Structure 1
Amino acid sequence: MPRIGYARVSTVDQDLDGQLTRLRSEGCAIIRSEKVSGGSREGRTELATILEFLRPGDELVVTRLDRLGRDTRDVLNVVHEAEQRGASVTVLDPHVSTRGEMGHVVITVLGMVAQMERRFIKERQREGIAQAKAAGVYLGGQRRLDYDRIRQMAAAGAGPTEIAKALGCSRMQVYRVLEEP
């Protein structure tokens, strides 16, 4: 039975190496990875690719359940989609698989914990920002893209794909900048 690994980190600054090493050591011949938030399924093209190509008997392997997502519904939908294709999902830490009935219960509970953890993270972030604003030290996030350059290139006739390649960003980021007033 083919083991297909999926690794994910939330930001481009984070490192995938630990997950990739663990998945390889667990016998995953195919590993797909991405650097995108697990808050929703939106924009997670590598996960979508895996789910699309799962075959009966395949096993989708992740190091931790929160790598699949931080929303219980999303996690359960991934598990459901895998099972609809005759595949199973295995989480390595703690070790649980959907091959048995108890695995579904544990994955549901772990999914709820991951969702709760995400809410706590967001709450702490909001509190920290509020404190920093009150202290007058919050300046907001720093822009990673040169918005003026994007607009100039678009005005000069460059398309979103060309702009994205030139600036090392996604087309979606280019579209968002161009949609801003």
Structure 2
Amino acid sequence: MKKIGYARVSTSDQNLDLQLSALKAAGCARVYTDQGVSGAEFERDGLSKVLKALQAGDMLVVWRLDRLGRSLVDLVRLISELGEREVEFHSLSEAIDTSSSGGRLLFHLLAAMAEFERSLISERTKAGMEAARARGQRIGRKPAMTATQLRSARIALKDGSASVETLAKRYNLHPRTLVRALKDVA
């Protein structure tokens, strides 16, 4: 099993030495890094490179889970994708090692917590929307056109004084948006 490491620090002032030493001591043949990149960003050059380099039978090793990312949902998704590719995962500080039964159990517990977190967010969002509707607030995107604009556009199209393209430019819309708005009112 080839161990490949990943290390990240959030600011360019921080130092990677502690992580690099730990990853080398864990037996990583190669270590990819990101320096000065937030964990909230999942599009990172070093992370992209390590994910491309990993092959079936390899193990991705990180010093701590938060070096890989901040969101539990994103972490679970990433580690699940690695598992589908037959790539193991090991976090040194949290002792999560998906090549062992205990590590897989811990990972599944994390996955269950991530699913629970998603459910709570969804429930809170729905409750907030219902409360807003009860207060008479409109939910969703603002209409592309007012009722007056729609009436004017309909009349202009009917009497031939303007084309869909001309009206779309007038109201600063894409022609398909104008057509859709007119159909919704019809």
TM-score, L = length of structure 2: 0.55
Mapped to 2, the partners of 1:103 and 1:61 lie a distance apart of 16
Q: SS where residue 23 of structure 1 aligns?
A: helix
User: Which residue is equivalent to 1:103?
Assistant: 106
User: Which residue is equivalent to 2:127?
Assistant: none
**Pairwise CA distance, 1:75:** 0.8
* Inter-CA distance 75–55: structure 2 relative to 1 (3 Å threshold): same
**Pairwise CA distance, 1:21:** 0.5
* Inter-CA distance 83–52: structure 2 relative to 1 (3 Å threshold): same
Mapped to 1, the partners of 2:49 and 2:106 lie a distance apart of 24
* Inter-CA distance 111–32: structure 2 relative to 1 (3 Å threshold): farther
| Number of residue pairs aligned between Structure 1 and Structure 2 | 111
CA RMSD of aligned residues (A): 2.0
**Pairwise CA distance, 1:55:** 0.9
**Pairwise CA distance, 1:109:** 7.7
- Deviation track 1:161-181 (CA, whole Å, cap 9, x = no partner) reads xxxxxxxxxxxxxxxxxxxxx
**Pairwise CA distance, 1:105:** 2.9
Equivalent residue runs for 1:71-86 within 5 Å: 71-86=71-86
Q: Does the 8 A contact of 1:7 with 1:16 survive in 2?
A: yes
TM-score, L = length of structure 1: 0.56
Q: SS where residue 82 of structure 1 aligns?
A: helix
Mapped to 2, the partners of 1:37 and 1:15 lie a distance apart of 14
Equivalent residue runs for 1:1-181 within 5 Å: 1-35=1-35, 36-42=37-43, 44-99=44-99, 100=101, 101-108=104-111
Mapped to 1, the partners of 2:15 and 2:114 lie a distance apart of 23
User: Which residue is equivalent to 1:178?
Assistant: none
Mapped to 1, the partners of 2:112 and 2:23 lie a distance apart of 23
Identity %: 40
- Deviation track 1:73-116 (CA, whole Å, cap 9, x = no partner) reads 2211220221122101100012111233313135448979xxxx
